[in-house]
């Protein structure tokens, strides 16, 4: 699944045996829906759902508020609980989808824009949650002690027409460890007014040998006002020593590239 699709494997019973069936291949697209204010007060979009497995899948649609914690992980809330909720403006038809093996369907998502005084950036997660996992487990006659519930998420955003500013800053850098794995963490802050897809690039210059190391970019997404740590594992090939470390936040051609540098000793 790609970056914007979340699969939740829900533990329904304890045990150590495991039977994972092909229904986890269910696909949805797109994984983000944008509703720009400039288009009008009433808008519609479609979510395409495909069941490539050999079993029938039944999915129930729901909506949740969310925001990120200090490590960039999503925390979910009941719909309408956060002031930036988009849930109250969304409707789904149908509200549940039954897909036989190899079948696909479309879900109509209707959006009605908030009143002008409430037209701030809003977000929500549309969940498609499996509701027939027990039926499939019974049908398979498997002896598994674990049942798996499939849950897929589609982002929904309302974008006010005045929101055009893209800016992500790197505000801090630190070295950490996760067990024996050395890590660099860069703290980012979205100081613009748009949700952004960005990449964090890390470059290290050994100040004794002039050897340069460039690590693979790490993707991250952020909403306006969010600030959290982006974690990058250091490969074992990075030798201990004193380094000039450059953390580079790149949010695409419409945003300035932001760079933070720090001299640090890596053990």
Tens of pLDDT, residue by residue over 131-142, are: 976 665 556 555
Tokens of residue 176, six digits: 């950490």
Same fold, 27-159 and 168-266: yes
Average pLDDT, rounded, for the chain:
87
pLDDT < 50: residue spans in the chain? 1-23, 143
* pLDDT recorded at residue 55: 86
Per-residue pLDDT tens for 20-65?
Answer: 333 457 899 999 999 999 887 899 999 999 999 888 999 999 999 9
- Binning the chain into helix, strand and coil, the percentages to the nearest 5 are 10, 50, 40
Give the CA count within 13 Å in the CB-facing half-sphere of 109: 30
Position of tokens 């049942």?
147
Tokens of residue 74, six digits: 């999503």
* pLDDT recorded at residue 9: 37
What percent of the chain clears pLDDT 70, i.e. is strictly above it?
85
Phi, psi of 243, rounded to the nearest 5 degrees: -130, 150
Specify the CATH number of the domain 27-159.
Answer: 2.60.40.10
Cα of 113 vs its chain's centroid, Å: 24
Q: Is the pTM of this model over 0.95?
A: no
Helix H or strand E encompassing 135: helix 133-140
Domain locations along the chain:
27-159, 168-266
Q: By the 8 A CB rule, do 54 and 22 touch? A: yes
The gap between the terminal CA atoms of the chain, to the nearest Å, is 36
What is the CATH class of 168-266? mainly beta
Distance CA 139, CA 231 (A): 43
Q: By the 8 A CB rule, do 223 and 121 touch? A: yes
Q: How many residues are given for the chain?
A: 267
Q: By the 8 A CB rule, do 29 and 154 touch? A: no
* pLDDT recorded at residue 139: 60
């Amino acid at each position: 699944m790609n970056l914007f699709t979340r699969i939740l494997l829900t533990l329904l019973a304890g045990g150590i045996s495991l039977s994972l069936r092909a229904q986890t291949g269910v696909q949805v697209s797109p994984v983000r829906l944008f509703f720009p204010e400039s288009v009008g007060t009433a808008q519609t979009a479609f979510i395409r759902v495909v069941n490539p497995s050999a079993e029938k899948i039944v999915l129930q649609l729901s909506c949740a508020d969310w925001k990120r914690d200090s490590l960039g992980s999503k925390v979910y809330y009941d719909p309408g609980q956060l002031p930036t909720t988009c849930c109250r403006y969304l409707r789904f038809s149908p509200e549940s989808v039954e897909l036989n093996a190899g079948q696909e369907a479309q879900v109509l998502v209707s959006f009605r824009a908030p009143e002008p005084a409430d037209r701030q950036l809003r977000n929500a997660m549309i969940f498609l949650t499996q509701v027939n996992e027990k039926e499939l487990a019974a049908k398979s006659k498997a002896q598994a002690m674990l049942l798996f519930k499939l849950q897929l998420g589609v982002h929904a955003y309302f974008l006010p027409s005045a929101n055009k500013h893209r800016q992500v800053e790197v505000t801090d850098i630190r070295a950490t460890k996760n067990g024996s794995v050395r890590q660099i963490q860069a703290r980012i802050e979205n100081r613009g007014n748009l949700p952004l897809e960005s990449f964090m690039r890390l470059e290290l210059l050994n100040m004794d040998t002039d050897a340069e190391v460039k690590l693979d970019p790490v993707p991250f997404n952020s909403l306006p006002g969010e600030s959290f740590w982006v974690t990058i594992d250091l490969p074992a090939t990075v030798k201990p020593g004193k380094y000039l470390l450059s953390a580079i936040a790149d949010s695409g051609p419409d945003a300035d590239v932001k760079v933070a540098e720090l001299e640090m000793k890596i053990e």
